[in-house]
Structure 1
Amino acid sequence: MGSESFKITNQDFVKLDHFDGNNFSRWQDKMKFLLSVLKIAYVVDPNLQLVPEDPQPAKGQQPDTAILEQLKEQRKKRVEDEELARGHILNKLFDRLYDFYVNVKSPRELWEALEFKYNAGDGGTNKYLISKYLDFKIVDTKPILEQVH
């Protein structure tokens, strides 16, 4: 699995721009696409459930080894996918942002931290545009096209 993602990354995803703090929405969409292609986008989902702990068998019964093995494999895959996703996200940050976020160990926490920091800038722009739209009034003394522009 690891060699497949490495091969895909080297050939197809070199074009993904490094995030420098500008155009977060565009970078985020491209990064989501990258993680989706690699089938690891689920690790940044805020609704992701934890892999359940090993079930405790009732007294006198043996634990179901098939279930225990399946849970062990799920945990192993989750850890690998989280490492891979974190690496890809950090790899596409400019050096100053990389240095700031490198200590965040969970890809979901890293993703949420970036969203919190860089989606805040869009809110002010949207508020401004909405207020301008709501304040717009047509005046009879000016041509309509001039007022719309």
Structure 2
Amino acid sequence: MRLFSNDSTRFDGKNFYRWEDKMVFLLKQLKFFYVLSDICPTTPAETLFDAAKKVLEKIQKWKDDDYLCRHHILNSLTDALYYQFKKKTNNAKDLWEGPKKVEGQKKYSKNNFKLIKKDFKKKP
């Protein structure tokens, strides 16, 4: 299987939707996408040894996948955004939400600007 390379589309703050589509495709292909929605499994207080061992294996797999997913996302950012988001996030889910928030703030600012501009034009 040939994996998709995201070198050509690094998120630079302007190309969010294209970058997001490519990242979703890559992370699903690598089977890491689940860590963006699933929480890390926990060990129940009272479990049998065999059951606890399986749960611990699931926890370790989730942590390993989260690490790989986070670094795939980080590597798809421009250098400036890489350093900005690397310092602010500890897991893949938080990192994934960062560019979405940036894009949401840009949309909000653009819409506010359009409304203000529209109101300004209405005034005599």
TM-score, shorter chain, exceeding 0.5:
yes
**Is the contact between residue 18 and residue 92 of structure 1 (CA under 8 Å) also seen in structure 2?**
yes
Structure 2 residue runs of 5 or longer lacking an equivalent are 115-124
CA distance in 2, matches of 1:102, 1:50: 20
Q: Which residue of 2 aligns with 1:55?
A: 45
Q: Alignment identity in percent?
A: 30
TM-score normalised over the length of structure 1: 0.66
CA distance in 2, matches of 1:100, 1:123: 21
1:88, distance to aligned residue in structure 2 (A): 0.4
More helix by share: 2
Q: Which structure 1 residue ranges, 4+ long, deviate > 4 Å from structure 2?
A: 123-128
After superposition, the C-alpha distances for 1:22-67 in whole angstroms (9 at most, x for unaligned) are: 121111111111100000101112xx233122332xxxxxx51221
Query: 1:116 aligned to 2:106?
Result: no
- Equivalences, count: 113
1:1-149 pair list within 5 angstroms: 12-45=4-37, 48-56=38-46, 63-103=47-87, 104-123=89-108
TM-score normalised over the length of structure 2: 0.78
Structure 1 residue runs of 5 or longer lacking an equivalent are 1-6, 57-62, 129-149
Amino acid at match of 1:40: F
Secondary structure of 2:27's counterpart equals helix
CA-based RMSD of the aligned residues comes to 2.2
Amino acid at match of 2:25: F
